[in-house]
């Protein structure tokens, strides 16, 4: 079955009904529009030059070899027709073929020509890349522009973007912020309003051969599995309307190794809760009340938890906020990986700081050893025992199957310090 954004595949009839309804009644409380590309719906999408090839539940956007720019075959994009946007969340699940040597731009974007005919005062938000430039295969650009004044940020995704593997990415924006999420992680947020467009823009998917460049010598394809479009965003300026979060408490203090317990007293009407942290993004698709979870922050300091509740039809119900503080008073905590649920390719670098408060606060004080373990389904896949600080482990994951693992570090105090044992763990995803 095709990988869907959090719910089972809609039937063709239901999808058609939803698409037509969306075209006439898209509002902030409506369910997101989802296209799983079982067929091309010309009432929803218009094509720029070549339409994608839609079959088998995917839309394939081709840039053909031997064709000059600005022609059928060298430019393949679709534009969402029912409405334009001044805010929203725009998700895609996509993959890319080999990286062309030529100048192909790929990605998703929101675009408006601006108030002048020369388009120099354009508005735009996008992620993607022009393939003949100097960034590596793991990097892309995240850009936002208002009236032609643009901010372009280099982003390292940590994965090879051109190996044919699927990835989920989303753009989220309103008048106060623009955020890029990739494979469940918040990678960057822009808050400088100089660069955040507020005029209505079109949502566009697909690649093109850059004007003025040479034709390709080999075909390139951007494949989209599904896209989801929603007016709902995590808007910081909107007031809280939901108070069902029991823990964490407002201005509560937690430690890195214990994690932050999350528990709701959500009503039976709530079928889905989206959590947005200042460091990571977690999407709870269909958990039952009381919606429990433990979040392991990647760093000490102040963190913000925002949440939104939805019913079974993905209608928005309410939102809430918690401000918490994370301390390092625990005896052991991770300094690498630096992101909760990090994606690892090649070498996994694990590092912890460990100390026994009865013997000191410096790394290694009162510690006999630290045991690192990589665990899958309650089975230790690999491990290493470190006896001296700094406590590091470099693990080559080339022979380890892809998947989600638990990385665990156990610090044992010296006999003189009481022989206490403290453990910290977090999830990592191996994706070679």
Same-domain pairing of 256 and 136: no
C-beta contacts of 245-253 below 8 A and 24+ residues apart: 245/305, 245/307, 245/320, 245/322, 246/290, 248/305, 248/322, 248/324, 249/322, 250/322, 250/323, 251/323, 251/324, 251/325, 252/322, 252/324, 252/325, 253/324, 253/325, 253/326, 253/327
Tell me, yes or no, whether 6 lies in a domain.
no
> Comparing C-alpha atoms, which of 136, 175, 180, 143 is closest to residue 159?
136
Residues 58-81: b if buried by 16+ CB within 10 A, e if exposed: bbbbbbbeebebeeebbbbbbbbe
Same-domain pairing of 146 and 212: yes
Q: Point out the domain boundary residue: 327, 356, 378.
A: 327
Compute CA distances 107 → 81, 174, 399, whole Å: 18, 20, 32
Same-domain pairing of 341 and 319: no
CATH of the domain at 210: 2.60.120.200
Residue 22 has pLDDT above 60, yes or no: no
Same-domain pairing of 302 and 418: no
Residue 316 has pLDDT above 80, yes or no: no
Is residue 299 within 8 Å of 279, Cβ to Cβ? yes
Same-domain pairing of 142 and 34: yes
Kindly state the percentage of the chain with pLDDT values over 70.
85
Per-residue confidence band for 330, with pLDDT thresholds at 50, 70 and 90: low
For the chain, the domain total comes to: 3
User: What's the domain range around 268?
Assistant: 245-327
Distance CA 127, CA 296 (A): 28
Residue 120's SS3 state is: coil
pLDDT in tens, 273-309: 877 776 555 555 456 777 888 877 766 778 888 888 8
Residue 90 has pLDDT above 90, yes or no: yes
Tell me, yes or no, whether 394 lies in a domain.
yes
Distance CA 186, CA 169 (A): 10
Same-domain pairing of 391 and 357: yes
Same-domain pairing of 82 and 192: yes
CATH of the domain at 367: 2.60.40.1220
If one counts every other C-beta atom within 10 angstroms of the C-beta of residue 376, the result is 15
Q: Point out the domain boundary residue: 179, 197, 230.
A: 230
Same-domain pairing of 272 and 291: yes
Across the chain, what does the average pLDDT equal?
A: 85
Residue 64 has pLDDT above 90, yes or no: yes
- By 3-state DSSP, what share of the chain in percent is helix, strand and coil, each rounded to 5? 5, 50, 45
pLDDT in tens, 400-413: 999 889 899 999 99
Taking the C-alpha atoms of 15, 179, 26 and 201 in order, what is their torsion angle to the nearest 10 degrees?
Answer: -110
Same-domain pairing of 319 and 338: no
What pLDDT, on a 0 to 100 scale, did the predictor assign at position 279?
54
136 DSSP β-pair partners: none
Tell me, yes or no, whether 353 lies in a domain.
yes
Matching residue, tokens 């719906």: 41
Same-domain pairing of 207 and 265: no
Higher pLDDT: 314 or 99? It is: 99
Matching residue, tokens 């922050």: 297
Same-domain pairing of 301 and 398: no
Q: What is the mean pLDDT of residues 328-338?
A: 74
What pLDDT, on a 0 to 100 scale, did the predictor assign at position 127?
98
Same-domain pairing of 340 and 425: yes
pLDDT in tens, 173-198: 999 889 898 887 778 888 889 999 99
Residue 13 has pLDDT above 50, yes or no: no
pLDDT in tens, 133-153: 999 999 999 999 999 999 999
């Amino acid at each position: 079955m095709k990988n869907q954004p959090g719910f089972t595949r809609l039937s063709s009839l239901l999808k058609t009904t939803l698409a037509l309804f969306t075209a006439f009644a898209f509002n902030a409380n409506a369910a997101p529009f989802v296209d799983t590309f079982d067929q091309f719906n010309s009432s929803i999408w218009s094509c720029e030059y070549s339409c994608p090839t839609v079959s088998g539940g995917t839309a394939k956007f081709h840039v053909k070899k031997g064709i000059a720019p600005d022609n059928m075959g060298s430019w393949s994009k679709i534009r969402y027709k029912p409405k334009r946007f001044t805010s929203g969340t725009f998700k895609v699940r996509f993959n890319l073929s080999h990286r062309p040597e030529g100048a192909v731009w790929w990605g998703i974007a929101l675009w408006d020509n601006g108030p002048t005919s020369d388009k120099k005062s354009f508005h735009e938000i996008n992620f993607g890349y022009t393939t003949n430039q100097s960034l590596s295969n793991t990097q892309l650009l995240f850009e936002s522009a208002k009236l032609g004044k643009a901010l372009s940020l280099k982003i390292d995704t940590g994965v090879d973007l051109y190996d044919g593997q699927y990835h989920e990415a989303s753009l989220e924006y309103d008048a106060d912020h623009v955020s890029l999420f990739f494979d469940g992680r918040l990678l960057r947020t822009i808050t400088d309003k100089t660069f955040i467009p507020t005029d209505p823009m079109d949502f566009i998917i697909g690649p093109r051969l850059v004007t003025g460049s040479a034709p390709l010598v080999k075909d390139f394809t951007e494949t989209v599995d599904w896209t989801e479009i929603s007016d709902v965003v995590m808007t910081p300026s909107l007031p809280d309307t939901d108070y069902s979060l029991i823990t964490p408490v407002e201005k509560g203090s937690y430690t890195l190794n214990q994690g932050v317990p999350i528990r709701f007293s959500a009503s039976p009407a709530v079928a889905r809760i989206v959590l947005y942290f200042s460091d990571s993004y977690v999407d709870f698709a269909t958990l039952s009340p009381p919606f429990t979870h433990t979040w392991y922050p990647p760093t000490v300091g102040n963190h913000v938890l925002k949440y939104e509740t939805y019913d079974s039809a993905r209608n928005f119900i309410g939102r809430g906020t918690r401000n918490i503080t994370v301390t390092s008073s625990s005896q052991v905590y991770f300094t690498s990986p630096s992101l909760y649920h990090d994606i690892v390719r090649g070498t996994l670098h694990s590092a912890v700081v460990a100390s026994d408060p009865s013997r000191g606060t410096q790394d290694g004080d009162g510690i006999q050893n630290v045991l690192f373990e990589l665990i899958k389904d309650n089975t230790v896949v690999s491990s290493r025992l470190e006896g001296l600080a700094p406590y590091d482990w470099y693990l080559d994951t080339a022979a380890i199957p892809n998947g989600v693992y638990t990385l665990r570090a156990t610090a044992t105090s010296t006999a003189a310090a009481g022989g206490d044992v403290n453990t910290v763990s977090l999830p990592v995803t191996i994706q070679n």
